[in-house]
Amino acid sequence: MQLSQRLAQTLVLSPQLQQSLALLQAPALELKALVEQELQQNPVLEEVPEQEAEQREKDADPEGGEADDQPATADLAEPPDDVKFDGDTEKTSDPQEPADDFQAEFEKLVQADQDWRDNFSPSNITSHNSPEDEERRQFMFESLTSVTSLAEHLLDQAREAQLTREQRDIAEMIIGNVDDHGYVTATVEEIAAASRGRQCLKERWNFLAGKPPEAAISLPVEKVRAVLKLVQTFDPPGICARDLRECLLLQLERDDRQDTLEYQIVRDFMEALGRRRIPEIARGTGQPVEEVQEALMRVGRLDPRPGHSFLPEPEQYVAPEVFVHRSGDEFVVTTNEEQVPHLRISNVYKDLMAQSENSAEVKSYIREKIRAGKYLIKSLHLRQQTILNIAREIVKRQHDFMEMGVAHLKPMTMVQVAEVVGVHETTVSRAVSGKYMETPHGVFEMKFFFTGGLATATGENVSNTSVKDMIAEIFRGENPSKPLSDQEVLKILSERGITIARRTIAKYRDELGILPSSQRRVY
């Protein structure tokens, strides 16, 4: 073993470059949070008021047109060159700008803070509020609602039911084993055995309290099963079932439909029902195929997940990064500037650099913060320009989509766009990740426009998304009594000049959620 030195050139991501890549990849809503974090960490940065930012845009482009394009391939690691230093004194870009008195600015901030404390103290808030304001405020708090979970809904019904203390404890254990869809995940035997553990815990508390010990024994399975039957009568219908069959039977029993054909099908032919073997069900029940088909339609109206309605609905807010609108015969692309904060360097800290009484340590700290702030502003501008250039190329290549919709989407890769824009394909991937574009046909994720293609008989390429849309349209127009097979769909696409394999059609059919032809047949 020996030590040796070696000279080599390697690529290293500097912290500034990592920050630029993070800003480029972040969607609009996340970008705002990142900028807010930088505003808290860097004191020299301040946000430009909205009215002033709009006035700047008007002054920069008085005719209302778009600004000249900036190169999207600028060196992100290059430090900003608009701040020049001469010894310990910084020369700002505007040397004629007068230096403000920092002490006066500091006194203004102190006075503003004191005014804020005086105006928003609890005593002043109470004294300034009128009775109408207090009534409106109380109405707002009373209007706030909270979503009740499935477990809370079931426990409330258990407390209102006529149950003994032992039955209530068993009901709580059963409800504790109910999943989000409303099914009991533990068997009756497991719940009965779990009662022994609860009794052991109770015995320990009795020992600490000085009470005589009790023998810890498991509950009888019959008691647990009886309480389970009682809990299954709670709302919503079908709750606390152990499988899908029991869930559907509970809902039918709740409606007094035990003597119906659908009850018999669910009870005796659940496996054939899952595979939609309608002739087999008709032979087993001795009923005509038409009546079996109608019974299956009534079974389809039951809820297979009774607890799903208590799940909180995920709220996803989408802010489009790019807007595409028609202007004559062309489509104009603009970026969403409302979601991107406009930043600038505070003049107070620029003036501090010009004051000779400040120490070199203070000047060095401010100098580094100004450099970091200017680099952040430059990275934000470069992010917007890169996304705009990529969006323009997407709209240029997908002109038919903007005109006529999804069926005319053309195949396009990130490499093709990267070559035109002048960036690497990984930059395109970061720029379109999580970003959305508002088009005349709706809001689409920017990655939606990058699809592979299939060759046609004429030598042209058709995107995979367009082919999938064609397949869905073919299945929608089929005869329900004679559903189309994958091979028949293959022949239809071949007549339209699209070359595709049968297994690819089967894959697209599964992605569209369409069952095979044997399970789609309506008798």
CB atoms within 10 A of CB 55: 12
pLDDT of residue 142: 67
- Tokens in use for 47? 């946000």
Q: Exposed, middle or buried by CB within 10 Å (0-12, 13-18, 19+), for 81?
A: exposed
Better-scored residue on pLDDT, 37 or 63 = 37
Name the one residue in this structure whose structure tokens are 């940065």: 45
489, pLDDT greater than 60: yes
pLDDT of residue 55: 62
pLDDT of residue 390: 94
Question: Residue type for 189, please?
Answer: E
Give dist(CA 228, CA 225) in Å, integer: 5
197, pLDDT greater than 60: no
Mean pLDDT of all residues in 207-220: 55
- Tokens in use for 505? 């059609």
pLDDT of residue 306: 92
* Range in 116-130, 217-231, 423-437, 481-495 the model is least confident about: 116-130
Q: Residue 437: which pLDDT band, with cuts at 50, 70 and 90?
A: very high
| DSSP 3-state of 42 | coil
Sheet strands (E) in 440-506? 442-445, 453-455, 461-463
Mean pLDDT of all residues in 212-232: 75
Mean pLDDT of all residues in 459-485: 81
pLDDT of residue 490: 87
Give dist(CA 270, CA 246) in Å, integer: 10
pLDDT of residue 118: 60
Mean pLDDT of all residues in 346-356: 78
Q: Residue 98: which pLDDT band, with cuts at 50, 70 and 90?
A: very low
Give dist(CA 266, CA 245) in Å, integer: 6
pLDDT of residue 72: 38
CB atoms within 10 A of CB 287: 16
Question: Residue type for 352, please?
Answer: L
pLDDT of residue 249: 94
Mean pLDDT of all residues in 218-225: 80
Q: Residue 74: which pLDDT band, with cuts at 50, 70 and 90?
A: very low
Better-scored residue on pLDDT, 353 or 210 = 353
Mean pLDDT of all residues in 167-186: 91
Better-scored residue on pLDDT, 161 or 108 = 161
Mean pLDDT of all residues in 412-431: 90
pLDDT of residue 63: 45
271, pLDDT greater than 80: yes
Percent of the chain residues past pLDDT 70, beyond the cut = 76
Mean pLDDT of all residues in 173-177: 91
Residue 254 CA, chain-centre distance (Å), reads 38
pLDDT of residue 23: 87
pLDDT of residue 179: 92
385, pLDDT greater than 50: yes
Do β-strands 322-327 and 436-439 pair in parallel, antiparallel, or remain unpaired?
Answer: parallel
pLDDT of residue 206: 55
66, pLDDT greater than 70: no
Q: Residue 82: which pLDDT band, with cuts at 50, 70 and 90?
A: very low
Mean pLDDT of all residues in 74-92: 38
Topology of domain 452-523 in CATH is Arc Repressor Mutant, subunit A (1.10.10)
pLDDT of residue 89: 37
- Tokens in use for 153? 């809904």
Q: Residue 520: which pLDDT band, with cuts at 50, 70 and 90?
A: confident
460, pLDDT greater than 90: no
pLDDT of residue 464: 77
Mean pLDDT of all residues in 3-23: 86
pLDDT of residue 51: 65
Percent of the chain residues past pLDDT 90, beyond the cut = 23
Name the one residue in this structure whose structure tokens are 């904060």: 341
Give the best-scoring range by mean pLDDT among 16-20, 142-146, 288-292, 476-480: 288-292
DSSP conformation letters of 261-277: HHHHHHHH-HHHHHTT-
Q: Where are the domains of the chain?
A: 255-305, 452-523
* Range in 23-37, 340-354, 413-427 the model is least confident about: 340-354
Q: Residue 436: which pLDDT band, with cuts at 50, 70 and 90?
A: very high
